[in-house]
Structure 1
Amino acid sequence: MADESLNNISLKALVNKGSNRVIFIESGHEFIDVLISFLTLPMGTIIKLARNHSAPLGIGCMKNLYASVKDIDVQHFRTNCWDMLLSPRNGAGPIVENLEMNIDDCDNTRFFRCSNGPCWTPTRLSYYNTVPCRCGNLMNIAVDVYAKAGHEVFVKGPVRLIISDDLQVLPPETSVSSSLLKKAGAMDSNTIEELSLDIGADEVFNLLMCSFVSKTPLTDIFLKRRPRSMFNKNIGTQQISINSRMIEEARNMYSEANEIFVKLIVSKSKNVVCYAEAGEDFVNLLFSFLMLPLGFILKAARDVCLKGCIDRLYKSVRNLDGRLWKSDTRKELVVRPKPSPGFCYQNHPLGIEEASNVLGDQAEIVDPLSQYYEDENEDSSLGFLKGPAMFMVTDSLVVSSISPILGLSVLNDMNVPITDVEVQTVHVGVEEAFGLLVASFGCESAALTSVFLRR
C-alpha cells in the first residue's frame, strides 16, 4: 500500500444527521483523481491488495484464478511470468504515481536492467527483476525512470466535483445537489450537517474494497466505520450482459486459426457444469483476466447487477464533461484502460490492445513472456503456460493439473453420481471469452455453467 506518511486528503461531507448517511462529498482534484484511478487497477492488483491486508473480498471467481496461479506448479509456466499475473503493472504507468495517494504497492516508475554493461545499448528494461536478459543474466538492477511530480493526474486542478454515496462523480451544480438532498430525504436544513473528513491510504483502500459489496461505501467507511469483515462477501450478479460493440471490435481483431475447445463434465439432472477438461490455451485466457484493468471489465459488463456500486463510478466517470478532464488522453486511460505493454499474448479472443510504451524511444521494454537465454526467436505470443498440457477447471474457476481422482472428488462433493454425467465439447470464441470474463467477475460459483449452459 502507499506510504502511510503521505499527507492525508481533506474533504467536506454533507451528512443526513437523522439517518447518519453521507449525502455527498465535495472534493478537489486530489481525491477525485484517486477515486478515478481505481478503474486503472488490474484485477490481479486488487486481489493482491485484499489478500495482503486481510480483506478477503469475494470478487466473483477472480480470487480463485489468483489462488490457482499461486498454486500451480511453476514448471507449467513458459517463463517466470507469474509476476505478471500476481503483481501486474498498471497500464497507466508512471502517470498514476503522481496521485496524491496511490494504494497500489507496485512502483510504476521503477524498472530493471541487466548488470552486464554491453547489454545497456540499446537500453533494455524489464518490469520485474526475475526476467532474464538475452545474455543469460537476470535483469535485476533497479532503475528509477521517472520522478514523481505530484500534480494533477486526470481532472483539472481548479475543478471541484460532487461524489454521491454510491460513488457517482457529478458536476457541482445546484440541480445535482438538490436531487441528492431530495433522494436522501434531507430537504430540511435542520437535518443536514457539514463534516470535515481527513482520510488516509487506509480509508482509500477500504473505500475501494467496500465499493464491490455496498451501495453506500462513503457512509460505511467514513461514518459507520464498518470492520473489514464486511468485505467477506461475494459481489454476485443477477444477469450477464456483454457490451456488443466490444464483441464486434474483438471479432475484427481475432483470428480463429487456433480454435479453443473445452470438454465440459456436466450433471444431466442438475444442468450444471461439474468441471471442465481444457488445454493450456483455455487456461491462458482465464489467467489473462488478472492483468486486465477494472475499467476494461466494467466496460465489457454492460448493465451487470452488482451488490456494490463500482459500476456506477465507471458510468459516471465515462459521462463526465470532457472540459473537466486534464486531456482527452487522460480520459482514455480511464474509460478505455489497457494493460501494460507485453502483458498480453497475441491473437487474444478479447481483442485486447496494450498501452503504448511510456518510455517511447528511450528504451525497449523486454517482453516478460520471452526467454532470451533459451531462444532469441521464441514466440512470445503463445501465452503464459507451456503446451501441450491439460488442466481441470471447476465451475468456480479453480484451475489445477488434470487428475481423475480430483475429478471424482468434485463429483462426490457435488453429490453427482458418475451415471448422471455427460461430456459436452464446446467452442470458446470471442463471445464466450467475454462471457467468461464477466462471469469470473460477477459469479461466485457458476461461471462455466452461466456461460455454456444457461445462455
Structure 2
Amino acid sequence: MENNNISLKAVVDKSNNRVVFVESNEKFVDIVFSFLTMPMGSVVRLTRNRPPAASIGCMNNLYNSVEILDKRYLRTEACKTMLLYPRNGAGNECKNLKLVINDGVQMRYFVCETDDCANSNYKLLSHYRNAICRCGNRMNWGREVKEREPTRVVFDDQDEGVFVKGPIQLTISYELQVMPSSTPDLDATQHLRSKETTAMLVSPKLAPGFSYEGQPLNIEEYMHQPYYYVITQGSGHFVTSDEMLIHSGEAISSSVLTVIDPKSPCYDNLSTGRGFLKGPAMFTITDDLTITPLSSVTGLSAIRKLKVPFSDLEEHIVYVGKEEASRLLVASFVSETALTNTFLLKESEQGS
C-alpha cells in the first residue's frame, strides 16, 4: 500500500505552544498552494465538520441554504450539484498531488440515450446525468473516456512538483508564508512550474460551465477542452479529448461533441450566460446570508426571531454593482453580518 504521509521538520515555540515554521519539500507546499484553487463551496464542505470547529463568516449559512433549497427553484437538476460540489478549474493538476483533499464529484461523461445522436445528430456531451438532449431524450448514457496512458506518478526525491519545481526544500511560516531556505521572496520563475500553473494560483478561473452573464465580479472561466465521440471497428464507442486516439487503427469514425451548459434546460442548452436559479423568483436573505424563498411567513418569522419592533423598521432600496458585490464577498468571509457590513456600514462611511 502506497504511503502518502509527508515528512515535515517543525520548529516549535514550547513556551507558547506554537509552531514557528516547518521545513518540507515541494509536495507539502503543492498541497498548501492547491487551497488557492479550491472553489468556496468545496472549502465549506470540507471544513464545516472538521476540528477546530469554526464557521467561515456567513458561508456555512449560504451553503446550508442551497442544501435545503427545493429543486423547483433551480434551472436544472445539475445546478445544486454544481453549487454544493463545484469543480476545480485546476482539477487536472490537483489530481497529481500526493494527498488529494478535495472529495468533489468525479468528472463524468454522458451522451444521449438515442442511438447515433452523439455520432450523427445533435452531437452533445454532458458532464451531469439527467440533462436533456435537444432531441428531447435524457443524456444518461455514461460513456467510457479513453486517453493515452499517463506517466505514472511516482513520489520520490527526483519528482517535480505539481505547482512547485522540485526537488526543493521550502520553509513555511506559521501564517503560511512560503519561502525557499536560501532566499527571502518566492521567485515564481525560479520555483514554480510554469506561467500557466502560476496563473492557476494567483488568478484562478472558474471551471468550464460555472460562469454566467452579468456576474458582477467578472471572474473568468476556463474553456472546455475539445471532446470527440469515436466509433471503433468492434462497434465500441468512447469519448476522448486526445486526437491521437482518433487516428488509431481501430477508429472508423469520429465526431466533435459540444458540451452543453449544465445550467440550461433542453430548449436552451447550447447557449450560455444564464444563472443557477429559475426566474422570476423572490427570496428573503437575512444578515447572515440564510436564503429562503420569499413569503409573508418567512419575513415575519425573521423579524420575530431578531426581536425587532415593527416601529423600528425602515425600507431602503440598495443597489448592487461590482463594488457592492466585492464588499459582500469579503464580508461573507469574515463577518456574520454580511448585509450590514456591505450596505449600512458603507452608508455610514459616506455620511461621515
Question: Residues 96 and 102 of structure 1 are in contact (CA less than 8 Å); yes or no, is this contact kept in structure 2?
Answer: yes
Aligned residues: 306
Q: Aligned equivalents of 1:352 and 1:364: distance in 2? A: 23
Q: Aligned equivalents of 2:108 and 2:304: distance in 1? A: 48
Of residues 137-146 and 321-330 in structure 1, the stretch that sits farther from structure 2 once superposed is 137-146
Q: Report deviation, 1:53.
A: 5.2
Give me the CA root mean square deviation: 2.6
Q: Aligned equivalents of 2:187 and 2:204: distance in 1? A: 16
Match of 2:260 in 1: 366
State the AA in 2 paired with 1:439.
Answer: A
Match of 2:220 in 1: 353
> Which one has a bigger Cα radius of gyration?
2
Question: Residues 36 and 334 of structure 1 are in contact (CA less than 8 Å); yes or no, is this contact kept in structure 2?
Answer: yes
Q: Report deviation, 1:83.
A: 0.6
State the AA in 2 paired with 1:129.
Answer: R
Task: Map 1:207-356; keep pairs closer than 5 Å.
Answer: 320-356=187-223
Are residues 414 and 107 of structure 1, via their aligned partners in 2, closer, same or farther at CA, if it must alter by over 3 Å? closer
TM normalised by structure 1 equals 0.62
Q: Aligned equivalents of 1:104 and 1:144: distance in 2? A: 22
Match of 1:127 in 2: 127
Question: Residues 213 and 273 of structure 2 are in contact (CA less than 8 Å); yes or no, is this contact kept in structure 1?
Answer: yes
Of residues 397, 402, 420 in structure 1, which corresponds to 2:294? Answer: 402
Are residues 51 and 17 of structure 1, via their aligned partners in 2, closer, same or farther at CA, if it must alter by over 3 Å? closer
Of residues 104, 107, 114 in structure 2, which corresponds to 1:106? Answer: 104
Question: Residues 260 and 269 of structure 2 are in contact (CA less than 8 Å); yes or no, is this contact kept in structure 1?
Answer: no
Q: Aligned equivalents of 1:377 and 1:91: distance in 2? A: 21
Q: Aligned equivalents of 1:333 and 1:322: distance in 2? A: 14
Identity %: 42
Of residues 146, 156, 175 in structure 2, which corresponds to 1:166? Answer: 175
Q: Aligned equivalents of 1:8 and 1:82: distance in 2? A: 34
State the AA in 2 paired with 1:7.
Answer: N
Deviation per CA, 1:373-415: give whole Å up to 9, x if none.
xx14675422111111111110111110112222122222222
State the AA in 2 paired with 1:407.
Answer: G
Q: Which runs of 5+ in 1 are unaligned?
A: 177-315
Q: Aligned equivalents of 1:365 and 1:431: distance in 2? A: 33
Q: Aligned equivalents of 2:309 and 2:141: distance in 1? A: 52
The answer to whether structure 1 residue 62 and structure 2 residue 47 are counterparts is no
Question: Residues 371 and 378 of structure 1 are in contact (CA less than 8 Å); yes or no, is this contact kept in structure 2?
Answer: no
TM normalised by structure 2 equals 0.78
Q: Aligned equivalents of 2:269 and 2:305: distance in 1? A: 46
The answer to whether structure 1 residue 156 and structure 2 residue 165 are counterparts is yes
Q: Which runs of 5+ in 2 are unaligned?
A: 154-159, 229-240, 242-256, 347-352
Task: Map 1:182-221; keep pairs closer than 5 Å.
Answer: none
Q: Report deviation, 1:369.
A: 0.9
Q: Aligned equivalents of 2:317 and 2:29: distance in 1? A: 47
Q: Aligned equivalents of 1:55 and 1:140: distance in 2? A: 42
Q: Aligned equivalents of 2:299 and 2:53: distance in 1? A: 27
Which fold has the larger relative contact order, with Cα–Cα distance below 8 Å and residues 6 or more apart in sequence? Answer: 1
The answer to whether structure 1 residue 450 and structure 2 residue 317 are counterparts is no
Task: Map 1:18-33; keep pairs closer than 5 Å.
Answer: 18-33=15-30
Q: Aligned equivalents of 2:325 and 2:295: distance in 1? A: 25
Q: Aligned equivalents of 1:335 and 1:435: distance in 2? A: 20
Deviation per CA, 1:78-116: give whole Å up to 9, x if none.
1111111000000112111011111111265x3212254
State the AA in 2 paired with 1:134.
Answer: R
Deviation per CA, 1:208-258: give whole Å up to 9, x if none.
xxxxxxxxxxxxxxxxxxxxxxxxxxxxxxxxxxxxxxxxxxxxxxxxxxx
